């Protein structure tokens, strides 16, 4: 049994801690937010992640996990390993804000008295592991201490909504290390999670750090690629869903991350794409492809909201717009960079009334929009109260609805940012159904949606996140 410290009880820290505890390690989780610690001590996970609450409660019951609110209390327990899982959000220039990483490194340097393996699990720019090492060494020098310690880079690839499965059964574990000792410790720690040793990929810290940005940027690229093609498909009478199926049968391409929609959001893709562009700038390397991915994603949101404005023109202020889905994707309550924030903000700017429903993310959206938006408790209530429906998250409970259900909407119009329904079924039920790249089936082309014929000025929309 190893003693492991995990710093940060967010999505990554809590999943990391609970999964290592599940494998018989003793885990001390450090979280600076006292409210989060209080909630966790009562066995309540402060965000929604399927299965996590049960796993954390089980570990608390079995005395495999404890929660503290400062690093001092954690280091007192003499851990051999520290996982740093603090947030690295975007700064206004697109670079990653590493202030939490530097703070944690300095605190660790001020407190350790013996060998430690410090592991960056946060997504951090290339070169961060080396800088962390330097900071810890500076602090040891200041205290007149000299002993070995290691810094490793072990980026996390879990996806919110399926985080436990991703952590417990990873496709691969990427580790940037410098010493054999660190390699051995990490090998032992991850062994219980792996089907075979080939899944453990050791490399230098720079390669590990870049692998994380490369992976997220590749997935974001697939999404932007399909979104750009989807708008083209509408212009030429193609159906992007059919195109996707045709592409996906090619084993070299596969089916993942090829859904056209309103674009990617969340706490990772937008910030990691921007951070990679920024890293390129710092090294005088033009990341032209990734820059385009970012631009296409931004434009996709503008295009989507402009469809609604183009349809209603000056009538928009008299309309009640219903929204299904506020989380940036299903099975999470995370609203960081969620399309819903931009869409709501822009509808409110045009004085539309907005009625929303999400199975788990409403409380988080309430913190931003307060009572400027009407929150209802059921998907059906949105339909009853609205002129049209806007779908922003493809929750399973929405997919169960039948085209007939939308007849209750006063204007019988649905703007679907996630292509949840068959256009032909909607059309046969008298629903005007705006899709992303499937409009040829409903016989209105993208020209209509983007306003060339309607006369509405397309505008760059207001962004608040
Ligand atoms: N969320 C994801 O799906 C995901 C997936 C893979 C990688 N990542 C990366 O992992 C990192 C963490 O992401 P997250 O979504 O878990 O972030 P988060 O914001 O949900 O959690 C970070 C936590 O760290 C705490 N914290 C910050 N400084 C601290 C300190 N000095 N001491 C103790 N606690 C401190 C914060 O209070 C917060 O609770 C980021 O770099 C992110 O890019 C996230």
CA terminus-to-terminus distance, the chain: 43
pLDDT at 144 over 70: yes
Length of the chain: 465
Q: How confident is the model at residue 452 (pLDDT cuts 50, 70, 90)?
A: very low
pLDDT at 457 over 90: no
pLDDT at 74 over 70: yes
Q: From its phi and psi, is residue 313 left (phi > 0), alpha (psi between -120 and 50) or beta?
A: left
Nearest residue to 55 (alpha-carbon basis) of 66, 68, 45, 42 = 45
Residues 67, 63: Cα–Cα separation, whole Å: 11
pLDDT at 458 over 60: no
More confident residue, 443 or 21: 21
Say what the pLDDT of residue 440 is: 80
Q: How confident is the model at residue 456 (pLDDT cuts 50, 70, 90)?
A: very low
Q: What token pair was written down for 196? A: 């075979």
Region 307-325: what's the mean pLDDT?
97
Tell me if 5 sits within 8 A of 81, measured CB to CB: yes
Residue among 15, 32, 35, 87 whose CB has most ligand 1 atoms within 8 A, to mutate: 87
Query: Residue 225 C-alpha to ligand 1 middle, in angstroms?
Result: 29
Query: Residue 186 C-alpha to ligand 1 middle, in angstroms?
Result: 21
Which residue has the CA at smallest separation from atom 20 of ligand 1?
10
Question: Coil, strand, or helix at residue 5?
Answer: strand
pLDDT at 348 over 90: yes
Is pTM beyond 0.85? Reply is yes
Which residue has the CA at smallest separation from atom 39 of ligand 1?
10
Q: Is 106 in the pocket of ligand 1 (CB under 6 A)?
A: no
Say what the pLDDT of residue 443 is: 63
Query: Residue 58 C-alpha to ligand 1 middle, in angstroms?
Result: 22
Q: How confident is the model at residue 438 (pLDDT cuts 50, 70, 90)?
A: very high
Q: Is 294 in the pocket of ligand 1 (CB under 6 A)?
A: no
Query: Residue 43 C-alpha to ligand 1 middle, in angstroms?
Result: 19
DSSP-H helix ranges across 237-268: 240-248
Give CA angle at 170 (168, 172), nearest 5°: 150
Query: Residue 376 C-alpha to ligand 1 middle, in angstroms?
Result: 30
Say what the pLDDT of residue 450 is: 46
Please state the domain extents for the chain: 3-203, 238-449
Q: Is 123 in the pocket of ligand 1 (CB under 6 A)?
A: yes
Say what the pLDDT of residue 12 is: 98
Residues 234, 303: Cα–Cα separation, whole Å: 13
Q: Are strands 374-375 and 432-434 parallel, antiparallel or unpaired?
A: unpaired
Query: Residue 123 C-alpha to ligand 1 middle, in angstroms?
Result: 9
Mean residue pLDDT across the chain? 95
Q: Is 160 in the pocket of ligand 1 (CB under 6 A)?
A: yes
The DSSP string of 150-169 is: EEEE------TTSHHHHHHS
Give CA angle at 327 (324, 333), nearest 5°: 125
The rounded radius of gyration (Å) of the Cα atoms in the chain is: 24
Q: Is 350 in the pocket of ligand 1 (CB under 6 A)?
A: no
Q: Return the percentage of the chain with pLDDT > 70, whole number.
A: 95
Say what the pLDDT of residue 78 is: 95
Residue among 9, 11, 38, 125 whose CB has most ligand 1 atoms within 8 A, to mutate: 11
Nearest residue to 55 (alpha-carbon basis) of 71, 70, 68, 40 = 40
Region 16-43: what's the mean pLDDT?
97
Query: Residue 393 C-alpha to ligand 1 middle, in angstroms?
Result: 23
Query: Residue 309 C-alpha to ligand 1 middle, in angstroms?
Result: 37
Enclosing H/E stretch for 296: helix 288-312
Residues 302, 354: Cα–Cα separation, whole Å: 18
Q: Is 7 in the pocket of ligand 1 (CB under 6 A)?
A: yes
Q: Is 17 in the pocket of ligand 1 (CB under 6 A)?
A: no
More confident residue, 454 or 353: 353
Which residue has the CA at smallest separation from atom 17 of ligand 1?
87
**What is the number of the ligand 1 atom nearest to the C-alpha of 268?**
43
The architecture of the domain spanning 3-203 is: 3-Layer(aba) Sandwich (3.40)
More confident residue, 446 or 141: 141
pLDDT at 256 over 60: yes
Which residue has the CA at smallest separation from atom 21 of ligand 1?
10
Region 136-154: what's the mean pLDDT?
98
Say what the pLDDT of residue 350 is: 96
The half-sphere exposure of 437 on its side-chain side, counting CA atoms within 13 A, is 27
Region 124-134: what's the mean pLDDT?
98
Question: Coil, strand, or helix at residue 258?
Answer: coil
Say what the pLDDT of residue 1 is: 80
**What is the number of the ligand 1 atom nearest to the C-alpha of 103?**
31
Q: Is 86 in the pocket of ligand 1 (CB under 6 A)?
A: yes
Question: Coil, strand, or helix at residue 390?
Answer: strand
Identical fold for domains 3-203 and 238-449, yes or no, is yes
Task: Express each pLDDT in 179-222 by its tens digit.
Answer: 999 999 999 999 999 999 999 999 999 999 999 999 999 999 99
Region 272-292: what's the mean pLDDT?
98
pLDDT at 355 over 50: yes
> What's the CATH fold of domain 238-449?
Rossmann fold (3.40.50)
Burial 352-368 (b: 16+ CB within 10 A, else e): bbbbbbbbbbbebbeeb
Task: Express each pLDDT in 262-281 by its tens digit.
Answer: 999 999 999 999 999 999 99
Which residue has the CA at smallest separation from atom 15 of ligand 1?
11
Residues 186, 119: Cα–Cα separation, whole Å: 10
Residues 208, 206: Cα–Cα separation, whole Å: 5
Task: Express each pLDDT in 357-389 by its tens digit.
Answer: 999 999 999 999 999 999 999 999 999 999 999
Region 157-170: what's the mean pLDDT?
98
Burial environment of residue 3 by CB neighbours within 10 A (0 to 12, 13 to 18, 19 or more): middle
Task: Just list the catalytic residues.
Answer: 268
pLDDT at 172 over 80: yes
Residues 403, 406: Cα–Cα separation, whole Å: 6
pLDDT at 454 over 50: no
Say what the pLDDT of residue 461 is: 61
Which residue has the CA at smallest separation from atom 43 of ligand 1?
123
Nearest residue to 178 (alpha-carbon basis) of 154, 197, 143 = 154
Q: Is 359 in the pocket of ligand 1 (CB under 6 A)?
A: no
Residue among 8, 121, 214 whose CB has most ligand 1 atoms within 8 A, to mutate: 8
Residues 118, 179: Cα–Cα separation, whole Å: 12
């Amino acid at each position: 049994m190893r003693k492991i410290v995990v710093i940060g009880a967010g999505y990554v820290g809590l999943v990391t801690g609970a999964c290592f505890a599940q494998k018989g390690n003793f885990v001390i989780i450090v979280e600076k937010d006292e409210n989060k610690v209080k909630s966790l001590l009562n066995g309540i996970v402060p965000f929604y992640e399927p299965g996590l609450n049960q796993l954390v409660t089980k570990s608390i019951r079995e005395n495999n996990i404890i929660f503290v609110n400062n690093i001092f209390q954690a280091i007192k327990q003499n851990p051999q390993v520290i996982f740093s899982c603090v947030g690295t959000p975007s700064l206004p220039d697109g670079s990653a804000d590493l202030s939490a990483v530097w703070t944690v490194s300095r605190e660790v340097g001020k407190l350790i008295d013996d060998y430690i393996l410090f592991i960056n699990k946060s997504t951090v720019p290339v070169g961060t592991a080396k800088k962390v090492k330097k900071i810890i060494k500076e602090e040891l020098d200041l205290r007149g201490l000299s002993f070995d310690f290691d810094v490793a880079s072990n980026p996390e690839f879990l996806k919110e909504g399926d985080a436990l499965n991703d952590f417990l059964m990873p496709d691969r574990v990427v580790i940037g290390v410098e010493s054999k000792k660190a390699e051995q410790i990490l090998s032992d720690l991850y062994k219980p999670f792996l089907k075979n040793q080939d899944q453990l990929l050791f490399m230098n810290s720079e390669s590990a750090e870049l692998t994380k940005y490369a992976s997220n940027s590749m997935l974001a690229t697939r999404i932007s690629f399909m979104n750009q093609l989807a708008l083209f498909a509408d212009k030429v009478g193609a159906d992007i869903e059919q195109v996707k199926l045709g592409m996906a049968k090619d084993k070299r391409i596969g089916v993942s991350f090829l859904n056209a929609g309103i674009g990617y959001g969340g706490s990772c893709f937008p910030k990691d794409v921007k951070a990679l562009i920024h890293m390129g700038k710092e090294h005088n390397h033009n990341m032209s492809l990734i820059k385009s991915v970012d631009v296409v994603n931004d434009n996709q949101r503008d295009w989507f909201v402009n469809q609604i404005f183009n349809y209603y023109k000056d009538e928009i202020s008299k309309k009640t717009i219903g929204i299904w889905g506020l989380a940036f994707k299903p099975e999470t309550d995370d609203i960081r960079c969620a399309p819903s924030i931009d869409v709501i903000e822009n509808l409110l700017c045009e004085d539309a009334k907005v009625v929303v429903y999400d199975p788990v993310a409403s409380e988080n959206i309430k913190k931003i929009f307060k009572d400027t938006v009407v929150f209802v408790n059921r998907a059906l209530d949105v339909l009853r109260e609205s002129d049209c429906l806007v779908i922003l998250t493809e929750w399973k409970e929405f997919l169960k609805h039948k085209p007939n259900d939308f007849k209750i909407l006063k204007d019988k119009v649905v703007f679907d940012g996630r292509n949840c329904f068959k256009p032909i079924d909607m059309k046969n039920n008298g629903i005007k159904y705006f899709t992303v790249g499937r409009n040829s089936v409903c016989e209105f082309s993208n020209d209509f949606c983007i306003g060339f014929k309607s006369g509405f000025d397309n505008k760059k929309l207001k962004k608040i996140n």
